[in-house]
Amino acid sequence: MKVLDLMIFLDGEGNSKMKIFIDTVKVLWKTSKIYFVFTFLLSIGSALPNVLSLIVWQKILDSISNFYFYGAVNYKEIIILIFIHFLLNIIANIIVKINEYIKNIYSLILEKYITNQAIEAVSQMSLAEMESAEFHDIIEKATSESSDKMVGILNKLVEMVQNITLFVGMSGILLSFNFGIYIIIFLSVLPMAIYSQKYFNKIYSIYNKRVEKIRFNNEIKNMIIRSDVFKEIKLFDSILFFKEKINQTMDDIIKEDKKVKGSLNRQGVLFQAVEVLFTYGLKTVIIITGIMDKKSIGVINMNMDSATQLQNATSNIVFIGMSLYEDCLYLSSYERLMEYKDKRIKENYVVNKNTIKNFEIETIRFENVWFKYKEDGDFILKGINLEFCINKSYAIVGYNGGGKSTLIKLILRLYCPQKGKILLNNQEIEKYDINEYWKKISAVFQDFVKYPFTVSENIAIGNIKYINNQAKIKKAARTSNADEFIESLSNKYDEKLTRGWKDSIDISIGQWQRLAIARANIRDGNLVIFDEPSAALDSRTENKILSNVMKSSNGKLSIIITHRFLNIKKVNEIIVLKSGEVEAVGIHKQLLESCHTYKDLYHAQKEMI
């Protein structure tokens, strides 16, 4: 699926909020059935003591009233009732605490589930999709709010059950009262319900428009505390520039929020005033009706409390419903991302079902291949015709921006060409299982990753099945000349790397590069690709590592991109790229005589040595 198709799919109108709500409940159920059931049972249980407490308190007040009217009091009855009221409060508190504990654990389990789903969704995406700004905005919307919103839905469902239980309980108490009270209660909550929907829609609309601003601000804030960036910021005294960038974004957000939320809050005060007016009208009706019907103080007080709690329960039910609607707005991006994930898994299953799985890489051939990153952009590669064969080593050289790394990305199947064909073993490369293909590749990139793991983990991540195989890890370290500095570390292979974590250290860029090469070596792939693997290495280490690559080319296909010409004389073929086209192919001596670009690059570097 193309990036444009992904954007259309993910930014579409999406599903109804009801479907999102139902799917969210399914996720909550799937995450943990036991916690789901217990949460709701305890929610119902936590509401019942409140209903019973009201009835008990009414009886206490009536016992007190009997003393004033009739001069008789049953102290034993009052003490027992107070003790029952006390027990009901204790029980209610215990249930609340148990419920809080279960919800906290449930929230963590849910967050773990959502994180895994998001990671799985991202794993289905192509590099082209991951490099899209629009896609990053969608990921931000789908992941940053999803955990909190799903936990919010869980809590609100619990509150909904509690309030419905209260509503039923209080209605039972007020059954003998005038039915008109329900009309007053309904009218009292209606204004705030209308206001809430308007408020939630407006706030989500603002959030939706400013996602990229928020993501940009977070990126800058994270950069400031990264050690590799901090040293440059300190040296160039550019912290104020970063501060101004952050403040500029925050000022825009504050200005917008002042305007929008100020207007919404003024409306909210008006709607709330109407609700309070109805509340006092409700209390007035209860008092007057109670006096006219000659009800006891306890009954009037119970009706007052019941009506108030009934109104609160009704208001909460409506508000929770509106709040659930808001949560579903935020979860719409997550919902579409999950649908896209499922769609891609099905597509990949169909595609991979009939692909070739048992194979070795013998030849890779480009036939008139053209490629560009953007549909409206210029072609980066133009009419490429090349063939790479097993048991041979190749070097790709050229000026910066000539298309060298792009060519590698096509070989790696991270991108597909717009024109032409790439053949693997004389068949179109798409006919081969992509995951099996990647398993046969060992690669080192110029923008290699510094993982915040131990030395062993940094190497073993290249072939995760060897994560506990120290022999394999040490062998890979030796082939990249990394064992020399690893043995000098305090904790050797167990040393934690990257500063900013407890008991961790950092190493030089050259040492990091050796780890990246060891990471590629432990994979022991059939296709070996080094994209500027020695930029941070000294000449001796570079010579040793590249010599190892050349020596081990038997049964492998090795491709090296480099600006250095010290070792490429040893490769079988040198490919010269210029402005996205193949200018020449040959060995060092031939190219030095016949290719102007190669000669220019070679002499320019020779002068620098």
Superfamily classification of domain 357-440+527-609: P-loop containing nucleotide triphosphate hydrolases (3.40.50.300)
Radius of gyration of the chain (CA): 35
Which helix or strand (DSSP H or E) is residue 384 part of?
A: strand 381-389
- C-alpha 495/C-alpha 372 separation (Å) is 42
Rounded mean pLDDT of the chain?
80
Q: Evaluate if residue 234 carries a pLDDT over 90.
A: no
Supply the pLDDT for residue 3: 46
Q: Which residues pair with 419 in a beta bridge?
A: 370
Q: Evaluate if residue 587 carries a pLDDT over 80.
A: yes
DSSP-derived letter for residue 492 is G
Contact 215, 142 (CB under 8 A): no
Mean pLDDT over residues 191-217, rounded? 76
- C-alpha 168/C-alpha 320 separation (Å) is 17
Contact 529, 442 (CB under 8 A): yes
Q: Evaluate if residue 47 carries a pLDDT over 80.
A: no
Contact 303, 295 (CB under 8 A): yes
Q: What is the pTM of this model?
A: 0.69
Mean pLDDT over residues 456-471, rounded? 91
| % of the chain with per-residue pLDDT over 70 | 85
64-104 pLDDT, tens per residue?
777 766 667 777 888 888 898 889 888 888 888 888 788 77
Q: Evaluate if residue 599 carries a pLDDT over 70.
A: yes
Mean pLDDT over residues 162-166, rounded? 75
Instruction: Give the pLDDT band of residue 470 (cuts 50, 70, 90).
Output: very high
Q: Evaluate if residue 222 carries a pLDDT over 80.
A: no
Token pair 């520039």: residue:
241
- Between residues 112 and 1, the one the model is more confident about: 112
Supply the pLDDT for residue 421: 95
Name the architecture of domain 3-351.
Up-down Bundle (1.20)
Q: Evaluate if residue 249 carries a pLDDT over 70.
A: yes
Q: Evaluate if residue 450 carries a pLDDT over 60.
A: yes
- C-alpha 186/C-alpha 207 separation (Å) is 31
Mean pLDDT over residues 116-129, rounded? 76
Burial class of residue 607, CB neighbours in 10 A (0-12, 13-18, 19+): exposed
- Between residues 115 and 561, the one the model is more confident about: 561
Mean pLDDT over residues 552-556, rounded? 70
- Between residues 326 and 505, the one the model is more confident about: 505
- Between residues 110 and 72, the one the model is more confident about: 110
In Å, what is the CA distance from 368 to each residue of 145, 408, 421, 581?
A: 46, 16, 7, 10
- C-alpha 360/C-alpha 87 separation (Å) is 75
- Between residues 509 and 573, the one the model is more confident about: 573
Instruction: Give the pLDDT band of residue 6 (cuts 50, 70, 90).
Output: very low
The dihedral through the CA atoms of 26, 29, 32, 36 has a sign that is positive
- C-alpha 303/C-alpha 295 separation (Å) is 10
- Between residues 452 and 232, the one the model is more confident about: 452
495-552 pLDDT, tens per residue?
998 877 788 888 888 888 889 889 988 988 889 998 876 665 666 666 666 666 655 5
- C-alpha 334/C-alpha 117 separation (Å) is 10
- C-alpha 483/C-alpha 544 separation (Å) is 13
333-347 pLDDT, tens per residue?
777 778 778 887 777
**Ranges 190-194, 367-371, 588-592, most confident:** 367-371
φ, ψ of residue 420 to 5 degrees: the values are 85, -175
- C-alpha 6/C-alpha 286 separation (Å) is 59
CA atoms within 13 A on the CB side of 88: 17
- C-alpha 155/C-alpha 103 separation (Å) is 8
Supply the pLDDT for residue 144: 67
**Ranges 76-85, 153-162, 388-397, most confident:** 388-397
What's the gap between Cα 47 and its chain centre? 36
Lowest mean pLDDT among 163-172, 200-209, 291-300, 531-540: 531-540
Supply the pLDDT for residue 14: 46
- C-alpha 104/C-alpha 569 separation (Å) is 63
Supply the pLDDT for residue 7: 43
Q: Evaluate if residue 389 carries a pLDDT over 90.
A: yes
Supply the pLDDT for residue 276: 77
Q: Residues spanned by CATH 3.40.50.300 within the chain?
A: 357-440+527-609
- Between residues 18 and 470, the one the model is more confident about: 470
Instruction: Give the pLDDT band of residue 176 (cuts 50, 70, 90).
Output: low
Give the pairing of strands 381-389 and 557-561.
Answer: unpaired
Which amino acid belongs to residue 513?
Q
Q: Evaluate if residue 149 carries a pLDDT over 70.
A: yes
- C-alpha 18/C-alpha 21 separation (Å) is 5
Supply the pLDDT for residue 579: 92
- C-alpha 61/C-alpha 81 separation (Å) is 10
Q: Residues spanned by CATH 1.20.1560.10 within the chain?
A: 3-351
Contact 522, 460 (CB under 8 A): yes
Instruction: Give the pLDDT band of residue 264 (cuts 50, 70, 90).
Output: confident
Supply the pLDDT for residue 494: 93
Q: Evaluate if residue 607 carries a pLDDT over 70.
A: no
Supply the pLDDT for residue 335: 77
- Between residues 498 and 577, the one the model is more confident about: 577
- C-alpha 9/C-alpha 89 separation (Å) is 52
- Closest C-alpha among 440, 438, 434, 439 to residue 354: 434
| % of the chain with per-residue pLDDT over 90 | 18
Structural tokens at position 320: 């929770």
